[in-house]
Amino acid sequence: MSFAFERLEIPDVILVRPTRLGDTRGFFAETFRASAFAAAGIPGAFVQDNLARSGPRVLRGLHFQAPPHPQGKLIQVVRGAVYDVAVDLRRASPTFGRWVGRELSDAEGALLWVPPGFAHGYVVLSDGADFAYKVTAEYRAELDRGVRWDDPTIGVVWPVSEPVLSQRDRALPLLRDLDPPL
């Protein structure tokens, strides 16, 4: 089995395309191999797996876990399609405040690596979606943070009008108001 690794416009965010072996019965694909991912710059020290189910037009994000336990995320859509976004929140980074987005779907099977120091969010493009991801640090409620999905300074162009949002996501701060900053 093999993988194709593509560094996106923000080079630390990596799109991973596993090889699928298929026939009339369906397909098989490896979705993670520690040695191949490490060679591509993606750590294999995942400590927690998560699964989220969302309905159409649901937008979740932009979320991150603050230091000292920031999370890197290896993301895959196992049912449906989403538009997935990563925003660089590393103040010392040359791409601070910039974002990158890609459509992920079960049909394509690509994964996305979002490193620690990034906010992450997605909006469902299909009738529903199941979203699975591995993280590099266990969840800690006291470090759970976010930034507004529609922050004009970041300027994410979401492909859905009138997304379905939680009250929490509606009330997240703007990038300039993050407390504490990363």
Burial of 33 (0-12, 13-18, 19+ CB in 10 A): middle
- The helix/strand/coil state of 64 is strand
In the DSSP assignment, the letter for residue 38 is: H
Total residue count of the chain as it appears in this document: 182
Catalytic residues: 63, 133
With 0-12 / 13-18 / 19 or more C-beta atoms within 10 angstroms meaning exposed / middle / buried, residue 154 is buried
The DSSP code sequence of 69-132 is S---EEEEEEESEEEEEEEE--TTSTTTT-EEEEEEETTT--EEEE-TTEEEEEEE-SS-EEEE
